[in-house]
């Protein structure tokens, strides 16, 4: 079979079926403007499955094997490009405001700072947070902080746990940080870097749908990063998600969203501190 994007068209009826199925299972809202994106992300999968067109793919999704393939579909739809220290202003806010506030409030206690990277993708965000905390709060060997990292995609979580990145994904990481927190690849791994074990141990990865009925975490978080996720959701889903995230913040905790996202127009209990940064007020 010789299939190209140019020769195979994603018909409207098949696209509507995919959109509805993805929304029901993940609440990701795919509008008409995402049709080209969906068809391009699924083309490689059709070749792998040796299917002739998207209609056959939809038949697979309707079949007994559809449940497993649905996970693959959501993996492909939800995966975003990311890199280390993306949207650096959030990290600067941690260094200059959030971490000093937390240290002052817990100066006489042995509390652990808890962070959640709620859409961790292939690990760049939580490992960036780990590096930042090791630099500005306590060494990686310390138990002063911990990071939980979750994503709906099992495929990117596997990549995150391996923690190997090529040079392009590491732009924004200084040479000094590369030396301190990464192992440089040799031989066939030349041009790649792996996060050192002492830092990997500080980040705990979990498979999680942010809209599932309950979360596995027993303790609230001081800081939640949930960036570039809500752009996929409609307003009711955004409101539901923000309420859920706010419930899992300690009073005085911060929620970071993507700089292209805003909570304006939805009901929520948080206070805007600066663009893309929200505070849960003290009781």
- Does one domain contain both 223 and 132? yes
Q: Which of 38, 53, 78 is the last residue of a domain?
A: 78
Q: Domain range for residue 132?
A: 88-279
CA-CA distances (angstroms) from residue 207 to 158, 212, 219, 263?
10, 11, 18, 25
- Does one domain contain both 133 and 23? no
- Averaged over successive runs of 10 residues, the pLDDT of the chain (283 residues) comes to 60 94 88 88 91 94 90 81 91 97 92 96 96 95 93 92 92 93 90 95 95 92 95 91 97 96 92 96 87
| Residue 7 within any structural domain of the chain | no
Q: Which of 30, 55, 78 is the last residue of a domain?
A: 78
Return the SS3 of 150: strand
- Does one domain contain both 42 and 60? yes
Shortest CA distance to 203 belongs to which of 187, 225, 186? 225
- Does one domain contain both 135 and 262? yes
Number of domains present in the structure of the chain: 2
Phi, psi values for residue 164, rounded to 5°:
-110, 130
| Residue 149 within any structural domain of the chain | yes
- Does one domain contain both 130 and 48? no
- Does one domain contain both 101 and 233? yes
CB within 8 Å of 57: residues ≥ 6 apart: 14, 42, 45, 46, 49, 51
Q: Which of 78, 96, 129 is the last residue of a domain?
A: 78
Residues 243-264, buried b or exposed e (16+ Cβ, 10 A)? ebbbebbeeebbbbbbeebebe
- Does one domain contain both 144 and 260? yes
| Residue 83 within any structural domain of the chain | no
Q: Distance between CA 59 and CA 45 in Å, rounded?
A: 14
> What is the largest distance, in Å, between two alpha-carbon atoms of the chain?
68
Q: Could you tell me the CATH number of the domain that includes residue 20? A: 1.10.155.10
- Does one domain contain both 30 and 101? no
| Active-site residue set | 41, 151
- Does one domain contain both 46 and 111? no
Q: Which pair of tokens denotes residue 10?
A: 């994603």
- Does one domain contain both 121 and 168? yes
Q: What is the pLDDT of residue 199?
A: 96
Q: Could you tell me the CATH number of the domain that includes residue 112? A: 3.40.50.150
- Determine contact, residues 207/154, Cβ cutoff 8 Å: yes
Shortest CA distance to 5 belongs to which of 41, 32, 29? 41
- Determine contact, residues 117/149, Cβ cutoff 8 Å: yes
Tokens 């650096």 locate to 88
Q: What is the pLDDT of residue 62?
A: 94
Q: What is the pLDDT of residue 7?
A: 61
| Residue 187 within any structural domain of the chain | yes
Q: What is the pLDDT of residue 2?
A: 46
Burial of 176 (0-12, 13-18, 19+ CB in 10 A): exposed
């Amino acid at each position: 079979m010789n299939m190209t994007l140019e020769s195979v068209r994603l018909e409207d009826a098949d696209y509507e079926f995919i959109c509805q199925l993805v929304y029901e299972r993940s609440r990701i809202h795919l509008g008409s403007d995402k049709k080209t994106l969906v068809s391009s992300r699924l083309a490689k999968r059709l070749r792998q499955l040796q299917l002739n067109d998207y209609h056959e793919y939809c038949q697979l999704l309707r079949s007994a094997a559809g449940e497993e393939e649905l996970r693959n579909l959501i993996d492909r739809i939800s995966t975003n490009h990311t890199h280390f220290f993306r949207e650096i202003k959030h990290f600067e806010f941690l260094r200059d405001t959030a971490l000093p506030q937390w240290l002052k409030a817990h100066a006489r206690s042995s509390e652990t700072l808890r962070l959640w990277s709620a859409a961790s993708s292939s690990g760049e965000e939580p490992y960036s947070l780990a590096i930042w905390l090791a630099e500005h709060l306590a060494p990686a060997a310390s138990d002063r902080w911990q990071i939980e990292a979750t994503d709906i995609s099992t495929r990117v979580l596997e990549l995150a746990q391996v923690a190997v990145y090529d040079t392009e994904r590491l732009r924004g990481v200084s040479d000094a940080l590369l030396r301190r927190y990464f192992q440089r690849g040799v031989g066939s791994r030349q041009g790649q870097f792996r996060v050192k074990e002492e830092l990997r141990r500080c980040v705990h990865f979990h498979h999680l749908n942010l809209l599932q009925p309950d979360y596995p975490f027993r303790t609230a978080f001081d800081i939640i990063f949930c960036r570039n996720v809500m752009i996929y959701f409609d307003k009711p889903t955004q409101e539901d998600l923000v309420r859920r995230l706010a419930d899992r913040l300690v009073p005085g905790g911060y929620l970071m969203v993507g700089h292209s996202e805003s909570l304006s127009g939805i009901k929520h209990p948080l206070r805007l501190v600066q663009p893309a940064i929200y505070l849960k007020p003290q009781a």
